[in-house]
Amino acid sequence: MYLKSLTLKGFKSFASSTTMQLEPGITCIVGPNGSGKSNVVDALAWVMGEQGAKSLRGGKMEDVIFAGTSGRPPLGRAEVQLTIDNSDGALPIDYAEVTISRTMFRNGGSEYAINSQACRLLDVQELLSDSGIGREMHVIVGQGQLDSILHATPEDRRGFIEEAAGVLKHRKRKEKALRKLDATDGNLTRLADLLTEIR
Ligand code: ATP
C-alpha cells in the first residue's frame, strides 16, 4: 500500500485543481517559506477525516477553504482526493486502487466518498483504521510535534501504538457497546420499578 496521488482544489492556498503524483518510497516537498508545503500535509490529514481545526492549523473548519487573494475571490468549497494503491490488499476493500474524497462547503456541509460512492466519515475512518493511517494522524508528525511525542505520558504513548496497530477501532467499539449496555441496564431498572408499582 502506498499513497499514489493527491488532488487539492480550493483547499487552503491551492485555489486551482492541483494533482501530485506520488511514488513508493520517500517523497520530499521543497519550496520557500509560506509556499504551501504544510498545506499539502494538512490536506492529507483532512481527507482522511481529521476533525480538529487546530490540527489543521486553523481557527475553524471552514478555514481550509481558499479564502481569496488580492487577485482571486474566495471559493465556496474545498475538495481533496487521495488515491491509495491497494494492490497488496492492505485496506479491507476489494479494489486495487482506492480513492477517498472529502468536500466541504462554506455553509458547513461536508461530504465523503470512497471510489466515488458517497459514504459517511465513519466508513472512511473504518477503512483506514487497520492500515495505521487513521484519523488521529499519529503517522503525521508535524513541526514541533516530535517534542510532545518524546515527552508523552506512557498512556499517550500507548495510544499512539494502539492507533498504529489498529487496536483503537476495537477499543472505541467496546466503549460504544458498554455505553449501550449501561443504557439497557437503566431501562431494565426503570422497568422493574414500573412492575413493582403495577403489582
Ligand atoms: P513554512 O516553510 O514557513 O512552514 P509552508 O511552505 O509550509 O511554510 P504553508 O504553511 O503550507 O507554507 O502555507 C501557508 C500559506 O498558505 C500562507 O501564505 C497562507 O496565507 C496560505 N493559506 C492558508 N490557508 C489559506 C486559505 N484558506 N486560503 C488561502 N490561502 C491560505
Pocket of ligand 1 (CB under 6 A): 12-13, 31, 33-39, 63, 65-67
Q: How far apart are CA 111 and CA 88, in angstroms?
A: 28
Q: How far apart are CA 12 and CA 65, in angstroms?
A: 5
Handedness of CA 61, 129, 99, 139 (dihedral sign): positive
Domain that holds residue 10: 2-166
Q: How many domains in the chain?
A: 2
What's the farthest any 2 CA atoms get from each other in the chain? 79
pTM for this structure? 0.77
Q: What is the CATH number of the domain that holds 32?
A: 3.40.50.300
Domain match, 50 and 85 both: yes
Q: Which atom of ligand 1 is nearest to the CA of 67?
A: 28
Whether the predicted interface score ipTM is above 0.90 = yes
How do the pLDDT tens digits run along the chain, 199 residues long?
899 999 999 999 999 999 999 999 999 999 999 999 999 999 999 999 888 777 788 888 899 999 999 999 999 999 999 999 999 998 989 999 999 999 999 988 889 999 999 999 989 988 987 676 755 545 677 777 778 778 889 998 887 787 777 787 788 889 999 999 999 999 999 999 999 999 8
19-26, long-range: CB < 8 A, 24+ apart: 24/85
Domain match, 160 and 73 both: yes
Domain match, 159 and 179 both: no
Domain match, 72 and 127 both: yes
